[in-house]
Amino acid sequence: MKSLFLLTSLIFPAIAQVPLPTPFLPPNATAGAQPSSGGSPNPQWSTLLGNAIYFYEAQRSGELPSTNRVKWRNDSAIHDGSDAGLDLSGGYYDAGDYIKCTYPLSFTIMSICWGASDFGKGYDMANQTAYLDDMLRWSLDWLMKAHPQPNTLFVQVANADLDNAYWGGDLNIPEPRPSYQINDTNPGTDAAAAASAAFSACSALYANRSSPSPFDARASLQNNTYASILLTHAQQLYQFAQNASGGQMTYQTSVPVVAEAYASSSYQDELTLAALFLASAENSTDLYEQAEGYYKKFGLSGYDGVFNWDSKTPGLAVLFSQLAQAGLGGDMSMWQAEAESYFDDIVNKKGPGFLTNGGLLWYDGDSDDASLNPALNAAMLLTRYAPLATSSDKTTAYLNFAKSQVDYALGKNPMSAPYVVGSNPNSPSNPHSAMASGGDDIGAINTSPEQEAYVLYGAVVGGPDEKDRFYDIRSDWVETEPALDYNAPMLTIAAMHVINDTSDPFFTSIQAGEYLKNKPQGTPCDAAFPCEASELPKGAMIAIGLIVGLVGLVIVALGASWIWFAIRRGGKSESA
């Protein structure tokens, strides 16, 4: 009965509890080229945090509230869920398109709530707590609608193939927009667990659970009613993930169509994370031990890849350490060793990640599709773990490395480009965003219109290529697309800098025009602009190699005879 009451009460959208201040509006990008007078909180970091949150407001789906600050956005997709007899309107569009994807959204909110639990004071100092609350509730209230019954979770709204065939504004989004669910017979362990982790992380934030962070400094968000509503969803989803009668499996096994957008590689990391965040939200040593059991059972130790929407393992050791320090149990030094073996490999370049010539942390494969994301997620984890490190040398090394990646993203790179839209005159001006572009011709994305219609303030874009080149081409979704999950680490990073950094973000030292001097000619060589060599299968490469070899021999032979001929001719002319 209790959960029934809770679920019914969720049908009415919750109103942001923290009153919105005099509206914060992102300043013109030119303001980002003016060094501030410093001090605490640093005004430029405060603005960057405000812009990063504002990006989410531009991504809103559904009926927009009267407090909407993004004037060029309209109500949209208000009938979402009608095919299932439900109201699934609201929430956020995933990226530059109009699909709504629960799995990466869950990661995004988990990351932001976790970050705000550690660095909440940064939001307070920047006067952004009300917007954080508003942003989180717009996500969480939708996620609750997407979880209408304990064992049902809607994992996607709209079909990615249909949506990809549309390029245009928010008034003509193509219909139908089917909704896809997992349920007891056709479950998705990863998607259910990821949503559970998001609810738990945010429940802990709204419950003002004490954090072991030296910045033990929470946003003034506390609302025990909301925290307990979120907790109920977290508990139900954790149970659903663990015990669905269909078994444990990835969500695309049950709903293959989601693989067009976000196929998950496994569910082990999500299940472990869900147990651990629930331990945090419930203050439960039992759940902490369950999470430890999963970590062992699934053999997650020693993973050395990226942290992102699909792969959460590197965050686990950090959270295990934080909760151990908070007294939830566990062997703190064991978890520190686990975390530090991962971070030391990154900092000492002993893992699969390496630095580009310009200094960006790069993972072959993951970085090829959105290079800033692995680097910023690593910086975010390093920043948050650094105070727990076992030696001050490590703390310093971790913070320095994190800073190098944040500096890179904010303009200390061979392009002199800060990769946050609208933050500086050298920021990307062509984000791959159908709604911001103002165009409606999918055959002429780059030229119609010439100039992007609206500035998508605060959006972190995909990022440069492995040679640090950034082309700023609207149709190049690899480099220029924004996404909910790309922005998430920037919020946590900016909140920390608001608290603990009096100097400006790097971009205030870059004057207008610098990027244009460095901008590469032509087109990149990536998934949006495939260049032939990298697209050919290995057999073809060998064949080409043979041909090139043969042609080379012929050229050498011709060259040799030419030289021989030239020498003879020279000799002749000399003698003439």
**Which residues sit at the interface with ligand NAG, rule CB under 6 A?**
14, 17, 28, 30, 41, 43, 46, 72-74, 126-127, 169-171, 180-181, 183, 185-186, 208-210, 214, 216, 218, 220, 222-223, 225-226, 238-239, 242-243, 254-255, 283, 386-387, 395, 399, 435, 455, 500
Asked, as a colleague might, if the bond just before 176 is cis with ω within 30 of 0, I would say: yes
Q: 314: buried, middle or exposed (CB in 10 Å: 19+, 13-18, 0-12)?
A: buried
The answer to whether residues 455 and 17 touch, using CB atoms and an 8 Å cutoff, is no
Is 344 a known active-site residue?
no
Question: Nearest to residue 175, comparing CAs of 184, 163, 185, 187?
Answer: 163
What is the rounded distance in angstroms from the CA atom of residue 406 to the CA atom of residue 376?
7
Least distance from ligand NAG to the Cβ atom of residue 387, Å: 4
Question: What is the number of alpha carbons within 13 Å of residue 274 lying toward its C-beta?
Answer: 26
What is the rounded distance in angstroms from the CA atom of residue 457 to the CA atom of residue 289?
43
Catalytic residue among 481, 485, 504, 514: 481
Contacts of 337 (CB under 8 A, 6+ apart): none
Q: Which pair of structure tokens corresponds to residue 62?
A: 């559904």
CA torsion angle for 428, 429, 430, 436 (degrees, to 10)?
A: 120
Least distance from ligand NAG to the Cβ atom of residue 537, Å: 35
* Single-letter residue type at 498: V
The answer to whether residues 294 and 277 touch, using CB atoms and an 8 Å cutoff, is no
The answer to whether residues 277 and 197 touch, using CB atoms and an 8 Å cutoff, is yes
What is the rounded distance in angstroms from the CA atom of residue 362 to the CA atom of residue 156?
30
Indicate the residue whose CB is closest to ligand NAG: 169
Q: Which pair of structure tokens corresponds to residue 381?
A: 């984890």
Least distance from ligand NAG to the Cβ atom of residue 495, Å: 12
Least distance from ligand NAG to the Cβ atom of residue 214, Å: 5
Least distance from ligand NAG to the Cβ atom of residue 424, Å: 11
Catalytic residue among 366, 452, 465, 472: 472
Contacts of 70 (CB under 8 A, 6+ apart): 54, 57, 58, 60
Nearer to ligand NAG, 352 or 387 (CB): 387
The answer to whether residues 486 and 461 touch, using CB atoms and an 8 Å cutoff, is yes
- Given its phi and psi angles, is residue 352 left (phi above 0), alpha (psi -120 to 50 degrees) or beta? alpha
The answer to whether residues 330 and 324 touch, using CB atoms and an 8 Å cutoff, is yes
The answer to whether residues 236 and 150 touch, using CB atoms and an 8 Å cutoff, is yes
Nearer to ligand NAG, 104 or 422 (CB): 422
* Single-letter residue type at 315: G
Is 472 a known active-site residue?
yes
Nearer to ligand NAG, 377 or 500 (CB): 500
Least distance from ligand NAG to the Cβ atom of residue 422, Å: 7
What is the rounded distance in angstroms from the CA atom of residue 507 to the CA atom of residue 164?
34
Q: Are strands 179-183 and 152-157 parallel, antiparallel or unpaired?
A: antiparallel
Strands of 179-183's sheet, edge to edge? 100-101, 152-157, 179-183
Nearer to ligand NAG, 402 or 528 (CB): 402
The residues facing 460 across adjacent strands are 420
Q: Give the SS3 label for residue 60.
A: strand
Nearer to ligand NAG, 185 or 390 (CB): 185
Contacts of 228 (CB under 8 A, 6+ apart): 203, 207
Place of tokens 């072991």: 212
Nearer to ligand NAG, 295 or 303 (CB): 295
What is the rounded distance in angstroms from the CA atom of residue 562 to the CA atom of residue 480?
49
Least distance from ligand NAG to the Cβ atom of residue 435, Å: 4
Least distance from ligand NAG to the Cβ atom of residue 276, Å: 14
Least distance from ligand NAG to the Cβ atom of residue 71, Å: 9
Nearer to ligand NAG, 209 or 394 (CB): 209
Least distance from ligand NAG to the Cβ atom of residue 151, Å: 9
Nearer to ligand NAG, 303 or 419 (CB): 419
Nearer to ligand NAG, 30 or 301 (CB): 30
Nearer to ligand NAG, 183 or 356 (CB): 183
Active site residues: 472, 481
